[in-house]
Structures are given as C-alpha cells and as structure tokens.
Amino acid sequence: MASTVIGAGITIEGELTTDDDVVVLGTLRGRLVAKDAVTVEQGGAVEADISGGPVAVAGSVTGNIISSDRVDLQNGAKVIGNVKATRITIADGAQFKGNVDMDV
Amino acid sequence: MAASTSTVIGQSAFVRGRVSGEGDLEIAGRVEGDIACSGEVLIDTSALVAANVSGSRIVVRGAVKGDLVAEDAVVIEAGARVVGDLRAPRITIIQGGLVRGHVQTAGGGAARPRASSAAHATRTSASETKARPAPLAARPAAQRTPDVRPAPVAARPAPAASRPVRPAPEIAKAAPAPASRTNHVQKSDPRNERSNGGSAARHAGPPPPVVPVLKKGTKAVQKKRA
C-alpha cells in the first residue's frame, strides 16, 4: 500500500490517521495515529502524540509515543515525552526526556 | 538547501486539519480542512478532499469539495468530481471531468452570468464561463449543493429539480446540444427549461422559480387549482 510521506517543507496542523506507514520529514502538529511504522526523519518535527507500530525517530518529537511494537531513538533524535513500547533502543546521541513504560 | 521532498498522503491516510507549505503534494487519501501549498497539488483518483485547495498548479483526478485556487493552472481530468469554485489563469476540464461551481479564469471579470451564454460556450477551454443567467430572486446567492460527501457525488445532483443548482460550466461545446458529460446536471436544472423550450413538468413538483416559457395556447386566465 502507499505510504504517507510528509515532505520537508510541509506542515500539517491537525490529525493524521492512517493504516500505512508514515515518514515525517516536515512538521506535524496535532495527532498521529498509524497502524504501521512511523519514521520521523532527521529534520522532521512532530509535536503530537504518536501512536503506531514500530516507531523510529531521528528527528524531534514532542509528545508521547505509544507503540505496539518497538521504538528506536536514533542518533540525532530529540524526544520529549513518554514512551510506551515493548522494546526500545536509545542510540548514542539521542536525547530523551520522559518516562519509559515497557509494559512489564 | 535540499529541495523539498514531495509529500504524499497515502490512500489509507486521513488528514483532518491544515496542510501547508512548500513543495509538491500528492493526495490519494482523505483530507478535511485546508490545503495551501506552493507547488503542484495532485489529487489522485482515490482521493476525497473536503478542503479548499490552493497551489501553483492543481491537477484533480478524484473528488473534491472545496474551492480550487491556483496561480498557474487547474486541470480537471476525467474521473474527477469537483464541487466548488475554480479560480486560475488557466483552467482545463477534460471530458469526463465533473464540475459544479463557479469557474473563473480572469481575475477581473465579476461573476455576472449573462443571458448570451450560448455565444460564450463555444470558446475553448481557457475561457471564462458564465453559464445560464441566474433567475434573480428565488435563488439564494451562494448556494452550493449541501452535504456532498465526495464519495457518492458521482455527479448526480440527487434531488435535483427545485433545488437551485449552480450552472455547470460548458467548455468548448455548443450550448444547445447538451454534452453527455454534463447532461444530467442540465436536465435537472430548472432554469434549463427555458432554453429547452419549456419542456417543463419533467419533474412533478413545485413549479420552478423562473418565469416559465409560456406554452402555446396559454390563456390569460390562470386555471384554478383544486
């Protein structure tokens, strides 16, 4: 299926709901609900709660991340918010402030 | 700086809010809100857009409920259903595209529909279209077909008849011969009865608000209705 790509110059203010995977290179403010993978690339900024499958962050996220799978905070990531996932990796260089709930 | 990546709103995506920015935009899903983009906006076949769209160039293949304003051109391709105004220096409506709304190419001309629409109808695509004259009174000025959830639009203005409908633009075809493309819209347009020579009573319902063409043999005395 087609994936949703939010390009670098684009700002979405509102809700984005999708069944596919999402790649964010631009800005998203509001809510992001995906059933599949969510990738916030470097340069992407998400000021929203993210809910989805596997989430990979290399950009900036201000909001909670609720994942049904895994969350990867890569180098360059800046996450301010709580993370709820079953698996999580925080790479060297990632910045993170928030709670981690791994459903233990 | 790297060129803006093109943005794609996938087929299963639903965006409710405002999409703005630079770069090209391709919409294959549902969007509700506002779209303001500096590049080309492509509204694909599976797209359902309930938003005003503005961009430099807008190509529509899906369903749109909202105004389309472009700096360069608006292209409505076959399969497109648009309910809303079009405003751009160049407007193309390909056969098979369905539009209901006001179409305006020149910035200056005001929206005064004129009786001599036939003469204008034969102009080529990049023309300003003013279809049938508005029957003054009874029609509220900016009435648009309500609740057209783009999916079932399928270009049939459902309860047709007495509901005032904005004229569908006729591009590059003679006025008298209704093209199949806009045929259904014309049929249901009560004002059209005038140009059809009073083929009234097609719809059993209240008489159209327009002064109907007097049929041959009409007496001066109005018959009393029971």
> Which one-letter DSSP state was computed for residue B185?
H
- For residue B153, the 8-state DSSP code is G
Question: Do B7 and A19 lie within an 8 Å CB cutoff?
Answer: no
- Tell me which amino acid residue A14 is: G
Per-residue confidence band for A2, with pLDDT thresholds at 50, 70 and 90 = confident
Nearest alpha-carbon partner for B49 in B66, B73, B25, B37: B66
> What are the structure tokens assigned to B117, written together?
């629409």
Smallest CA-to-CA distance from B45 within B6, B80, B10, B5 is with: B80
The reply to whether residue B10 touches residue A10, judged by beta carbons under 8 angstroms, is: no
| Residue pair B65/B150 in contact by the 8 Å Cβ criterion | yes
Tell me phi and psi for residue A46, to 5 degrees: -120, 115
pTM of the model: 0.61
What are the residue ranges of helices labelled H in chain A?
Answer: none
pLDDT of residue A86: 93
Kindly give the pairing relationship between strand A22-24 and strand A4-6: parallel
Query: How much is the pLDDT for B186?
Result: 40
Write out pLDDT tens, residues A18-30. 998 999 999 999 9
Mean pLDDT by 10 residues, chain B (226 residues): 71 93 92 93 94 94 94 94 94 93 73 44 42 40 41 41 41 40 41 43 64 73 65
Q: Buried b vs exposed e over A50-60: b needs ≥16 C-beta within 10 Å?
A: bbbebbbbbbb
Contacts A51 to B, Cβ<8 Å: none
What's residue B1's pLDDT?
40
Q: Do B15 and A3 touch (CB under 8 A)?
A: no
Cα distances from B166 to residues A58, B4, B185, in angstroms, run: 50, 38, 9
CB atoms within 10 A of CB B202: 15
Closest approach of B89 to chain A, Cα-based (Å):
25
CB B71 within 8 A of CB B56: yes
Verify whether the Cβ–Cβ distance A18 to B10 is below 8 Å. yes
Whole-number Å distance between alpha carbons of B54 and B45:
18
Output the CA–CA distances (angstroms, integers) from residue B89 to B59, B112, B128, in the order listed.
Answer: 14, 18, 10
B interface residues, A as partner, C-beta within 8 Å: 2, 4-25, 28-29, 33, 37-38
- pLDDT for position B42: 94
**What is the tens place of the pLDDT at every residue in A29-65?**
999 999 999 999 999 999 999 998 899 999 999 999 9
Q: What local confidence, expressed as pLDDT, does residue B144 receive?
A: 42
pLDDT at residue B210, rounded to an integer: 73
Nearest-Cα distance to chain A for B226, in Å, is 58
Given a contact cutoff of 8 angstroms between Cβ atoms, the answer to whether B162 and B98 are in contact is: no
Q: pLDDT tens, A72-81?
A: 999 999 999 9
Measured between beta carbons, the chain B residues lying within 8 angstroms of A9 are 4-5, 21-23, 38
The pLDDT value given to residue B213: 72
Q: How many CB atoms lie within 10 A of CB B99?
A: 29
